[in-house]
Amino acid sequence: MTSPDVPVSAHGVSAHDVAVPETYTIPVGPLHVALEEPMYFKIDVRGETVTSVDINAGHVHRGIEYLATHRSMIQTVVLTERICSLCSASHPEAFAMAAEAIAELEVPSRAKYLRVIAGEVKRLASNLFNVAILAHLTGFETLFMHVMQVREIAQDIKEAVFGNRMDLGAICIGGVRYDLDAEIMMELTKRLDEIAPLVDEIIETYRTNGTILRRTRGVGVLTRDQAIACGVVGPVARASGVVYDVRHAAPYAAYPDLEVAARGLSDGDVWSRAMIRLYEARDAIDIVRQALAKLPAGEIHGDERPDVPPGETIAKVEAPRGELIYYLKTNDGPNPERVKWRVPTFMNWDALRFMLAEAKVADIAIVVNSIDPCISCTER
């Protein structure tokens, strides 16, 4: 079809080929307005209907696993915090838990509660961020602005308590690096009282708003069987009726002493995933309140530079996106011999094949966003 005098673009499309064939490929990414991070979905489309999805990763690979083996254990805590800013409490926590397991360190009970508070405040902000983006993708800019404004209270909490809006720097091996005094606890309680009714209002909006329901109910469905087959985790699994939460299955930190609601929905569509995230954002507020009420006195960490002997172990936590597993192997040296982590998005993005089957072009972005993809975590 291509004649020599016809200019050919970099994609090998000639000017004569423009009569668009019945089936064509649309690139979603690596840079796309609907994606917060670089990710390439090669999507074959017939008319307005998706026929196949190919995921191409590797655009934000930074070699963090390699870097971790060239840093001391204490430096690696700082490094893991920088894998991804939205789960930046979960990564160092899981890493510290693994190191503590090898070194057989007991974390002071006050530190356990403070870890829960750090993790749940991050969960609150992260989940609100994702549902805000959902509103943006459906063209409902006002709701997007509103949810982001409410999330700003969570950001204020982080700034007031931890001194940072994204990376909290809260975790260290053997404990935490921050403490709450009476004044800051008052401030925290005040801001939680401020955000709780607003989150309730947002939940009601997403539950009843016609625009949201029209674009999310029955869209991107992942059945329970498919969810189990793909091994999806976190809100994606819980929205498909697989009620699996590390905070229940293998409680860590102070979770054994706290009441964490088990959330589950059965429809497995985009709406269910958004609702699970919203309910869990609301639950996060309650969990922080419980932790504040029960917060014991005492040390916040043990030895500042604990010795980690040779050994290997895994540790897992419930990140905002689901189960986060760390594998750590240490030797006689000061650096970890190997650190590897399996992030929730790695399990969840494979399920996109099922969710996007027969989807409409208009829904691609909404469905992709519904697994709350964290590309930095996955490609590190």
Partner 1 sequence: MSTQAALLVSVLAFPGGLFALALGLALKGADRRFAARLQGRVGPPLLQPIYDLVKLGFKRTMVPLTATSQLVFLVTPLVALVSMLYAAALIPVPGLPAPSPQLGNVLVLVYLLAIPGVALMVAGSVSGSTYGAIGFSREMALMLAYEGPIVLVVAAVALRTGAAEGQFAVLSLTEIVRHQQVHGANLFDPVLWPALIAFVFFYPANLGIVPFDIPEAETEVLEGPLVEYSGPALGLFKLMSAVKSVVVLGLGLTLFFPLVPEGPLGLVVWLLEDFVLMLIGVTAVRVGIGRMRIDQAVAFFLKWPLVAAIASLAVVVVV
Per-residue contact flags (x/-) with partner 1 for residues 44 to 63, judged by CB under 8 A: -x-xx---------------
What is the Cα 305 distance to its own chain's centre? 30
Q: Which tokens is 162 given? A: 């931890």
215 touching partner 1, by CB under 8 A: yes
Instruction: Say if residue 30 is preceded by a cis peptide, omega within 30 of 0.
Output: yes
Instruction: Count CB-CB contacts under 10 A for residue 8.
Output: 14
Among 54, 141, 193, 201, binds partner 1 (CB under 8 A): 141
195 touching partner 1, by CB under 8 A: no
| 109-137 vs 90-103: helix crossing angle, rounded to 10 | 150
Contact 61, 76 (CB under 8 A): no
Q: Is the dihedral of CA 14, 19, 24, 26 positive or negative?
A: positive
C-beta of 215: minimal distance to partner 1 in Å? 6
186 touching partner 1, by CB under 8 A: no
Alpha carbon separation from 233 to 118, 239, 242, 318, 341 (Å, rounded)? 21, 10, 8, 9, 14
Please identify, using beta-carbon distances, which residue of 111 and 154 lies nearer to partner 1.
Answer: 154
4 touching partner 1, by CB under 8 A: no
Please identify, using beta-carbon distances, which residue of 365 and 374 lies nearer to partner 1.
Answer: 365
Please identify, using beta-carbon distances, which residue of 169 and 373 lies nearer to partner 1.
Answer: 373
Contact 98, 314 (CB under 8 A): yes
212 touching partner 1, by CB under 8 A: yes
137 touching partner 1, by CB under 8 A: yes
Please identify, using beta-carbon distances, which residue of 29 and 241 lies nearer to partner 1.
Answer: 29
3 touching partner 1, by CB under 8 A: no
Please identify, using beta-carbon distances, which residue of 40 and 327 lies nearer to partner 1.
Answer: 40
C-beta of 165: minimal distance to partner 1 in Å? 19
C-beta of 341: minimal distance to partner 1 in Å? 31
Please identify, using beta-carbon distances, which residue of 147 and 230 lies nearer to partner 1.
Answer: 147
Q: Which tokens is 216 given? A: 């999310």
Among 104, 145, 309, 333, binds partner 1 (CB under 8 A): 145
Bridge partners (DSSP) of residue 315 are 326
Using CB under 8 A, which residues numbered 311 to 370 contact partner 1? 360-365
Which helix (H) or strand (E) segment holds residue 316: the answer is: strand 311-319
- Rounded to the nearest 5°, which phi and psi values hold at 311? 165, 175
**HEC readout, 79-114:** HHHCCCCCCCCHHHHHHHHHHHHHHCCCCCHHHHHH
Per-residue contact flags (x/-) with partner 1 for residues 19 to 38, judged by CB under 8 A: -x---xxx-----xxx----
Taking the C-alpha atoms of residue 346 and residue 339, their distance in angstroms, rounded to an integer, is 16
Contact 72, 334 (CB under 8 A): yes
Instruction: Count CB-CB contacts under 10 A for residue 329.
Output: 16
Among 117, 135, 233, 375, binds partner 1 (CB under 8 A): 135
Among 88, 90, 138, 378, binds partner 1 (CB under 8 A): 138
For binding to partner 1 (CB under 8 A), which residues are involved?
7-9, 11, 13, 15, 17-18, 20, 24-26, 32-34, 45, 47-48, 135-143, 145-146, 149, 210-212, 214-215, 360-365
